[in-house]
Structure 1
Amino acid sequence: MQVGIDRIGFYTPNKYVDMVDLAHARGEDPNKFLIGIGQSKMSVADQTQDAVSMGINATLQYLDQIERNNVGLLIIGTESGVDQSKSASLFVKSALKLNPDVRTFEVKEACFGMTAGIMIARDYVRLHPHHSALVIGSDIARYGVKTGGEVTQGAGSVSMLIKAEPQILALEDGHSAYSADINDFWRPNDSAVALVNGKYSKEVYLDFFQRTFKSYQEKTGIKTSAFSALIYHLPFVKMGYKANQLAITGQDASTTKHLEENFTASAKYSREVGNIYTASLYLSLLSLLENGSLEPEALVGLFSYGSGAMGEFYAGRVVADYQNVLDANATQQMLKRRQKLTIADYEQIFNEALVLPQDNIELNSDEEPGYWYFAGTKDHVRQYKQK
């Protein structure tokens, strides 16, 4: 029995900042952001979008196409939690009108959270093959206005249905994991923005990739040339590019060519959206599937990384006719619908979103009809509504 990814949904907020505009505002050469970092645009979440609302919106892309009564597990991986106790997944479960007997909880380990959820879901479906599992990664990457990490911000969510006999990607047995207690990136309880040692975090990311990729190959005997694509957690595109360059070092021309081409395809959406933490790797997967060239049974390697730090490499095989359950046009419309912000408007929206809204004051969303949003708190209870 194969277990893997049967559906994928994506959501990003309806506002963005152009990296050329940001570079000019910060007195930088635009190529520092466009080429040096590898980003073109950055999605921006206002007060009405959070991990919950974005996760609902991503899942709604395919919810009507599945047997929701078969869903037995719902997991959200996020480092943008909305409550110190109650899981974001309970709000999502309510909005999606899932059955009361669904097991649901939230997972946190920086950007690794969604991968952890997928591994839990995979094992759950193996034991309960007649059930499926929803796994959502949903995050807002915030470092602060005029900070070193500003250009690597973003917002969005990816949702997946994990089930037996999947229609998109069948997960291979085996994985390679590596963890260490380090401080390359973290967000204290008293801070609305993350703290990061940028240079150190880049070094750790590449070190963890090399460790897990090498270990995976040693365990499985799979050579680099066997992979049709290698995809990565992309806090920014250039980071994954550097890891991919390490992977293709010493490979023949054919292997180098297709791994480079498919990396470019996998980075297309991240370049337009920015960093979405737990969902970043899976936005890379969606981008690869919708923009790359993959044959049935093509082997795709996935490198997941969460600062602090946790790394894992695993793989899956593309299912024949996977294109039939994807909607590349919907993704393009999702990106095109966004409105470009001036830098002044971006800074105002960003700083407003750092402040909790006053209790019993209803928030209104400028999203399109049908999307869910955070409407504020009523007697300190979070309220979510559909536009």
Structure 2
Amino acid sequence: MIIGIDKIGFATSNYVLKLKDLAQARQTDPDKLSKGLLLKELSIAPVTEDIITLGASAAESILSQEDKDQIDMVIVATESAIDQSKAASVFIHGLLGIQPFARSFEIKEACYGATAALDYARLHLEKRPDSKVLVIASDIAKYGIGTPGEPTQGAGSIAMLVTANPRILTFNDDNVAQTRDVMDFWRPNYSSTPFVNGLYSTQQYLDCLKTSWTEYQKRSGLSLKDFAAVNFHLPYPKLALKGLKQIMDKSLEPAKREELTQNFNQSIIYSQKVGNIYTGSLYLGLLSLLENSPQLKAGDRIALFSYGSGAVSEIFSMNLVENFRQELKTNRLEELDQRESLSVADYERIFFEEIQLDETGSASLAGYDQQNFALTGVNQHQRQYSKVKKEA
């Protein structure tokens, strides 16, 4: 049975912070960010935008009413959970009006979670080929003002509709996963921002890539020459570039090296303008590759390296199907350029605003007129979400 990704959607916030402005405010050389991280801009989410609203927006952009009637599973992967009990997928299921007899749950393992969700979706479809599974990766990456991770923040969501006979990509049964009990990045329940051992995390990312790739080649019998592109988890693009250079075999023909490098450059375009979106970063890179690389063609095999601190990594591959471009957008960069640019002072105020609850555990929020979905308030500790009606 052929199973894979039938549709891919993306959503981010309406605000953007230019990293050249952040560099100036932090008295940092702009090249340290633009060249040292390969980043240009960060999406900044206001208090009325969270993983629920972003996830619903990403999914709404691709789903038809027929899809909503056929989806029988909704999985949200996130490390920015808004509730320790109720899954984000339940909120999104309701906002989208998906048929009621669907299983909804949330997956967590740092930035790896969406890959686990895709694995689960594929297993489900093998038993129920007439169904559809909605997988959403939704996160807001916050590190704090003046922290080393500040230039790699971001906000966004990727939605993927997994079906039989997909119209974009098909899964191959070649997954190789690895688990290590390490503390390179973690966020205890009592902390709103993560703790990061930056150098150690970089080393873990690269070593997991190296060892997983070696095992993948041994089990699959494939090598880099068999791939048109390699997609990486993108905490920041420069780290992924180091990863690509690490696995480049010196015996690889120059033409193949050039192809892989060109496609890598296409895969980081969106992340350079959005920043880190944790669970969605790998798949934002995949979407960027598909929508910006002119040389891809049906049948091409794409490798993906998924990494989540703590740590779990996985390498797997997918193949492009005929007419895959018909399911993609051609104006996404123009849409990103329409975001409202923030001053550093406004970024600090908007991104780190906290909801102030009254004695009943309630609060009203405003300023979300331009959002597709919004957190409109809290009523007795219950978060209130609405689809925002825009004027025609």
Shorter-chain TM range is: over 0.9
What's the counterpart of residue 285 of structure 1? 286
What's the counterpart of residue 113 of structure 1? 113
Conservation of the 8 A alpha-carbon contact between 1:248 and 1:259: no
Deviations 1:91-111 (A, max 9, x none): 000001111110110000000
Deviation at 1:328, TM superposition (A): 2.5
Conservation of the 8 A alpha-carbon contact between 2:140 and 2:155: yes
Task: Output the aligned Cα RMSD.
Answer: 1.2
Change in Cα spacing, 1:209 to 1:9, as seen in structure 2 (3 Å) is same
Deviation at 1:366, TM superposition (A): 3.5
Change in Cα spacing, 1:116 to 1:356, as seen in structure 2 (3 Å) is farther
Deviation at 1:64, TM superposition (A): 2.0
C-alpha distance in 2 between matches for 1:310 and 1:105: 20
C-alpha distance in 2 between matches for 1:194 and 1:49: 20
What's the counterpart of residue 365 of structure 2? 363
What's the counterpart of residue 130 of structure 1? 130
What's the counterpart of residue 61 of structure 2? 61
Deviations 1:316-339 (A, max 9, x none): 00111111111122x234312211
What's the counterpart of residue 163 of structure 2? 163
Deviations 1:2-28 (A, max 9, x none): 100000000000111101111111111
What's the counterpart of residue 341 of structure 1? 342
Deviation at 1:361, TM superposition (A): 2.1
Any idea what SS the aligned residue of 2:352 has?
A: helix
Q: Which runs of 5+ in 2 are unaligned?
A: none
Answering whether residue 230 of structure 2 is matched by residue 221 of structure 1, we say no
Deviations 1:167-195 (A, max 9, x none): 00101012111111110001111111111
What's the counterpart of residue 50 of structure 1? 50
What's the counterpart of residue 326 of structure 1? 328
Deviation at 1:351, TM superposition (A): 2.3
- Percent identical among aligned pairs is 41
C-alpha distance in 2 between matches for 1:357 and 1:119: 39
C-alpha distance in 2 between matches for 1:262 and 1:300: 10
What's the counterpart of residue 265 of structure 2? 264
Answering whether residue 308 of structure 2 is matched by residue 306 of structure 1, we say yes
Conservation of the 8 A alpha-carbon contact between 1:270 and 1:283: yes
Q: Where does structure 1 differ by over 6 angstroms across 4 or more consecutive aligned residues?
A: none
Any idea what SS the aligned residue of 1:67 has?
A: helix
C-alpha distance in 2 between matches for 1:367 and 1:381: 21
Deviations 1:187-219 (A, max 9, x none): 111111111000000000000111111111110
Deviation at 1:304, TM superposition (A): 0.3
C-alpha distance in 2 between matches for 1:175 and 1:326: 25
What's the counterpart of residue 276 of structure 1? 277
| Amino acid across the alignment from 1:47 | V
What's the counterpart of residue 383 of structure 2? 382
C-alpha distance in 1 between matches for 2:292 and 2:66: 24
Conservation of the 8 A alpha-carbon contact between 2:356 and 2:363: no
Any idea what SS the aligned residue of 2:64 has?
A: helix
TM-score (norm. length: structure 2): 0.96
Any idea what SS the aligned residue of 2:218 has?
A: helix
Change in Cα spacing, 1:253 to 1:357, as seen in structure 2 (3 Å) is farther
Deviation at 1:223, TM superposition (A): 1.4
Any idea what SS the aligned residue of 2:191 has?
A: coil
Conservation of the 8 A alpha-carbon contact between 1:170 and 1:316: yes
Change in Cα spacing, 1:65 to 1:40, as seen in structure 2 (3 Å) is farther
C-alpha distance in 2 between matches for 1:16 and 1:357: 27
- Comparing 191-200 with 240-249, which one deviates more in the overlay? 240-249
Conservation of the 8 A alpha-carbon contact between 1:14 and 1:367: no
TM-score (norm. length: structure 1): 0.97
Conservation of the 8 A alpha-carbon contact between 1:11 and 1:334: no
Any idea what SS the aligned residue of 2:349 has?
A: helix
| Amino acid across the alignment from 1:233 | H
- Comparing 157-166 with 208-217, which one deviates more in the overlay? 208-217
Deviation at 1:249, TM superposition (A): 3.5
Change in Cα spacing, 1:200 to 1:367, as seen in structure 2 (3 Å) is farther
Conservation of the 8 A alpha-carbon contact between 1:375 and 1:385: yes
C-alpha distance in 2 between matches for 1:220 and 1:381: 49
C-alpha distance in 2 between matches for 1:328 and 1:368: 22
Any idea what SS the aligned residue of 2:161 has?
A: strand
C-alpha distance in 1 between matches for 2:106 and 2:259: 37
